[in-house]
């Protein structure tokens, strides 16, 4: 296996548990010895799909012990008080903020406990597929190691993908979003507690740009500013028009006034942290016969706005393990994995792009809020048929492609029923029964 990041460490655990001989090559050092790369505390939102995969590796308890519950989105308007919009019906329908570094260490420990061997400081450089030999750089040397098959978990910039591509084209295509991001930090309050509501994912929606903040268990928040990379000529800020800390301070004074006093090191953070770029990676093929297969970001990197990149990568691990259980022939297993998961990856990639619009622009829009209200009323009336879009993606494990298909039908029903209305009061809800029963077959509602 190439990469002991999130998918690599989980995949290694699942395969070692099944009795495979697993050797993992990771370009970075052992995070248990050196601390996490970069040193910054980066957190991720863990949802049901990822949690279910962690259960399969028996790692869920350790991970949740260090997680912070997020009940909903806390929307910060330009003026006025922030409002919490719950993600689910109650505290069983929540997401969890987890530290990437801690999560990775937990999974590396699980992989080793299951019998996998992880070789740190070993970067894949080249693969000789006909001879089944891989070359890893580390400790100033090039190491040549034979393999029976390679599983690529080496992230969005995958070296294995490049090696596979050189052998047979994979049909690789990246669509850049044109927006980038910058990470900032809210430290703990003077008394050591959280400075703002801990059990929420905070959003400052501003139309075509936004900030978000996720809680860390050490009582800080990681804030991410998302905006266009280049000036669009529309008067909105961009990383081109906000090139330095002084401009960032002015932007926060104008647009994120309630966040500014929470980020005392804004000048330092803005100058020290790089601008990240965002894009969606599409491939026509994920495997090379039985010689190599790609999973996670290496196969289908996506924009972050649904918080599903890791969740999807973890779901890949369980799916691939299942296909390897079903047949001893690797080429057959890899082909079945690709056939199952590619439509789902494409679906969540699309939904992630759509959720940027929702987060940055719609969460404080009255028409959108009315649709959310109607969604909940219809869920109460048709609990197995009408399940809100966010719930299908986040709290269920139905295929992403099915969630997308049903969301599109539901969105049409919601738009038609709320058009020209200001409240639920005038909407004839029973009149929607026929359309719902006809277009949406019952689903098993439990996660």
Q: Return the structure tokens found at 199.
A: 């059990």
> Helix (H, G, I), strand (E, B), or coil: what is residue 175?
strand
* Number of other CB atoms surrounding residue 88 within 10 Å: 17
54 binds ligand 8RB (CB under 6 A): no
Looking up tokens 């277009």 gives 439
* Number of other CB atoms surrounding residue 357 within 10 Å: 11
Query: Are the beta carbons of 428 and 419 closer than 8 angstroms?
Result: no
304 binds ligand 8RB (CB under 6 A): yes
413 binds ligand FAD (CB under 6 A): no
Q: Which of 53, 201, 320, 396 binds ligand 8RB (CB under 6 A)?
A: 201
Instruction: Name the DSSP letter for residue 211.
Output: E
* Closer to ligand FAD by Cβ: residue 223 or 335: 223
Cα–Cα dist 284/5, whole Å: 24
307 binds ligand 8RB (CB under 6 A): yes
Q: Return the structure tokens found at 41.
A: 């505390």
* Closer to ligand FAD by Cβ: residue 93 or 410: 93
Among ligand FAD, ligand 8RB, none, residue 266 binds (CB under 5-8 Å by kind): none
7 binds ligand FAD (CB under 6 A): yes
CB of 447 to ligand FAD, least distance (A): 16
> Helix (H, G, I), strand (E, B), or coil: what is residue 52?
helix
User: 410-414 long-range CB contacts below 8 Å, 24 or more apart?
Assistant: 410/375, 410/386, 410/440, 413/378, 413/439, 414/371, 414/374, 414/375
Among ligand 8RB, ligand FAD, none, residue 26 binds (CB under 5-8 Å by kind): ligand FAD
305 binds ligand 8RB (CB under 6 A): yes
**Which listed range, 59-67, 253-261, 304-312, 428-436, lies at the site for ligand FAD (CB under 6 A)?**
304-312
**Which listed range, 41-49, 84-92, 385-393, 434-442, lies at the site for ligand FAD (CB under 6 A)?**
41-49
* Closer to ligand 8RB by Cβ: residue 181 or 334: 181
> Helix (H, G, I), strand (E, B), or coil: what is residue 82?
coil
CA 34 and chain centroid, separation: 26
Cα–Cα dist 287/305, whole Å: 27
216 binds ligand FAD (CB under 6 A): no
181 binds ligand 8RB (CB under 6 A): yes
Residue nearest to ligand 8RB (CB): 307
277 binds ligand 8RB (CB under 6 A): no
Q: Which of 22, 44, 67, 210 binds ligand FAD (CB under 6 A)?
A: 44
Query: Are the beta carbons of 171 and 161 closer than 8 angstroms?
Result: no
Query: What is the binding site for ligand FAD (CB under 6 A)?
Result: 2-8, 25-28, 42, 44-45, 123-124, 153-155, 159, 296-298, 304, 307-311, 313
């Amino acid at each position: 296996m190439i990469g002991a990041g999130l998918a690599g460490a989980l995949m290694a655990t699942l395969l070692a548990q099944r009795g495979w001989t697993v050797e993992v090559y990771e370009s970075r050092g052992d995070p248990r010895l050196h601390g996490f790369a970069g040193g910054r505390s980066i957190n991720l939102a863990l949802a049901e799909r990822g949690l279910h995969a962690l259960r399969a590796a028996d790692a869920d308890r350790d991970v949740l012990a260090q997680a912070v519950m997020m009940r909903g989105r806390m929307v910060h308007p330009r003026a006025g008080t922030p409002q919490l919009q719950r993600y689910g019906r109650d505290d069983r329908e929540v997401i969890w903020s987890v530290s990437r570094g801690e999560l990775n260490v937990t999974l590396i420990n699980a992989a080793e406990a299951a019998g996998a061997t992880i070789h740190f400081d070993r970067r894949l450089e080249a693969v000789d597929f006909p001879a089944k030999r891989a070359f890893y750089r580390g400790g100033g040397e090039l190491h040549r190691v034979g393999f029976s098959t390679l599983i690529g978990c080496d992230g969005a910039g995958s070296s294995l993908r490049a090696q596979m591509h050189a052998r047979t084209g994979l049909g690789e295509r990246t669509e850049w979003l044109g927006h980038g991001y910058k990470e900032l930090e809210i430290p703990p309050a003077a008394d050591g507690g959280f400075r703002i509501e801990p059990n929420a994912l905070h959003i400052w929606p501003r139309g075509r740009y936004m900030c978000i903040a996720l809680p860390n268990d050490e009582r800080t928040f990681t804030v991410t500013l998302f905006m266009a990379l280049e000036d669009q000529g529309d008067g909105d800020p961009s990383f081109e028009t906000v090139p330095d800390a002084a401009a960032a301070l002015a932007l926060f004074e104008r647009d994120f006034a309630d966040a500014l006093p929470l980020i005392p090191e804004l000048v330092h953070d803005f100058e020290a942290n790089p601008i990240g770029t965002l894009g969606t990676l599409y491939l026509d093929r994920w495997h090379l016969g039985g010689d190599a297969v790609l999973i996670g970001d290496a196969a289908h990197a996506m924009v972050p706005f649904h918080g599903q990149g890791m969740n999807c990568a973890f779901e890949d691990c369980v799916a691939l393990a299942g296909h390897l259980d079903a047949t001893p022939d690797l080429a057959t297993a890899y082909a079945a994995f690709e056939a199952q998961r590619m439509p789902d990856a494409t679906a969540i990639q699309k939904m992630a792009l759509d959720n940027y619009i929702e987060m940055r622009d719609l969460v404080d829009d009255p028409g959108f809020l009315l649709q959310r209200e109607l969604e909940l009323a219809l869920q109460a009336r048709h609990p197995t048929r009408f399940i809100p879009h966010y719930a299908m993606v986040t709290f269920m494990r139905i295929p992403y492609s099915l969630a997308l298909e049903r969301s599109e039908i539901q969105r049409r029903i919601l738009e038609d029923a709320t058009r020209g209305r200001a409240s639920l009061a005038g909407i004839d809800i029973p009149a929607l029964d026929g359309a719902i029963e006809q277009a949406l077959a019952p689903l098993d509602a439990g996660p």
